[in-house]
Amino acid sequence: MNISANLTRREFISTTGKAATTLAAASVFAPNILSAKAPNETINVGQIGLGTRGGDLLNGLVNVDGIKMTAICDVYGPHRKKGVERCKNPDVKTYADYRELLADKNVDAVVISAPDHWHCQMVLDAVKAGKDIYCEKGFAHTIDEAKLMRAALKGSKTVFQLGHQARQSTCSLQAKEVIASGILGPVTLIRTGRFGNNDMAHPIWRWYGYYSQWEHPDPAQVIKDLNWDAWLGSAPKIPFNERHFWHWRCYWRYGTGQAGDLLSHELDLVQYLMGHGVPDTCSCTGVNALLKDDREVPDTWTANYHFEKLGRTVTFTGCMNSGVGQPIEVCGKDASLKFDGIAHDATSFTITPERHNDRTDLPKGYVVGKTPKQPNHLEDFFNCVRSRGTPKCGVDEAFIETATYLMSIESFRQQRVVRWDAAKEAIV
């Protein structure tokens, strides 16, 4: 078992930068040639980042047929230990420097589940290293990052999947087909939302290593086990701050708030269903209504998107202080389609005709068994690694999603309606 030495501050800073690095941009576009694996050949996988979501992904990875976890990486020692315990491979290599994992010739594909502010640099480096890539959302912090990543991925033979579970379900595919048939009539409104609620002693996004874990680890021991400078990467250099480490989703410098973490899930499924691309305009408001605990990102987030040529509005309402849900509802002129849960929890849907619609042939909703079972999002990725195909949420879909959620952030920050300039691919 190879446990790499911690990076020095100087070594790590030399390979990072806020704009996703000019150095990486200069060398990453050379195409890498990846040959398709034989159907029965094992795919060796390395995972970068083994925190909350990373741990869940690892639990799923070890149960995918035909893959083997050969390497894991995290800058925090207990996370590496967790990875070793779960990966079902006693010979797994462990790294504290993700670049050493990418240099490992025994790694075919990488799963990137590090905090969001690391996604761009890690994707660029993984492309350069010739690895296929599964990356957690949100894809990027800025449009410039998203463009850089898209160019690198398209300039290579890399198979890329953005992590979204909703596209894997049979009910989502069946709903997509129902909508495409036109039986709902013109769709002018789509309602989405994400709601959650905890007692005030356990505010959302303030857990310690897992969603339901509230026991506070000893900060002195954490800093001994953590390479803090490596964790910060391109983020502003500050002394160790345990709240930033454990609760990074609460701060703009590391994450993208409800926009990239929650809205992205719902709007990704809407894009899968409708295929309408980036919205024309967005207006968004956000406020910390109750969770005033030094978090920078709002606990309440409301975004309204408009598709002018389609005459369509898509809304998202997010609230961390209420458990009342808002599953995706596609509202047509003649009928509405409503799911039974949020994007990645949906298992069924119902169709309700409008009062003026006297058709008798409308389906009532999801028909069990009508749509073939779909591979889950991890299986879809590895199937495409073998076939060299495009996963359901490839880089083009990732770019659309990123532009969509970043529009809400820009509207919130500028306190005005923002527009997508399709020619320049810019939020204006």
- Share the mean pLDDT of the chain: 91
pLDDT in tens, 214-251: 999 999 999 999 999 999 999 999 999 999 999 999 99
pLDDT in tens, 90-102: 999 999 999 999 9
DSSP string, 181-240: TTTT-SEEEEEEEEE-B--TTS-TT--SSSTT------HHHHHHHB-HHHHHTTSPP-S-
> What is the token pair recorded at 80?
């590496």
List, in order of start, the domains of the chain with CATH numbers: 9-158 (3.40.50.720), 167-201+255-375+405-427 (3.30.360.10)
Q: Would you state the pLDDT for residue 27?
A: 37
Q: Would you state the pLDDT for residue 227?
A: 98
- Alpha carbons 249 and 297: distance in angstroms, whole number: 8
pLDDT in tens, 176-204: 999 999 999 999 999 999 999 999 999 99
Q: Would you state the pLDDT for residue 359?
A: 87
pLDDT in tens, 36-67: 555 558 999 999 999 999 999 999 999 999 99
Contact 82, 18 (CB under 8 A): no
pLDDT above 70: residue 173: yes
pLDDT above 80: residue 10: no
Share of the chain above pLDDT 90, in %: 87
pLDDT above 90: residue 325: no
> What is the token pair recorded at 39?
């159907």
Q: Would you state the pLDDT for residue 40?
A: 57
pLDDT above 50: residue 160: yes
* Residue 218 exposed, middle or buried by CB count within 10 Å (0-12, 13-18, 19+): exposed
Residues 205-222: what's their mean pLDDT? 95
Q: Which residue has the tokens 């002129």?
A: 333
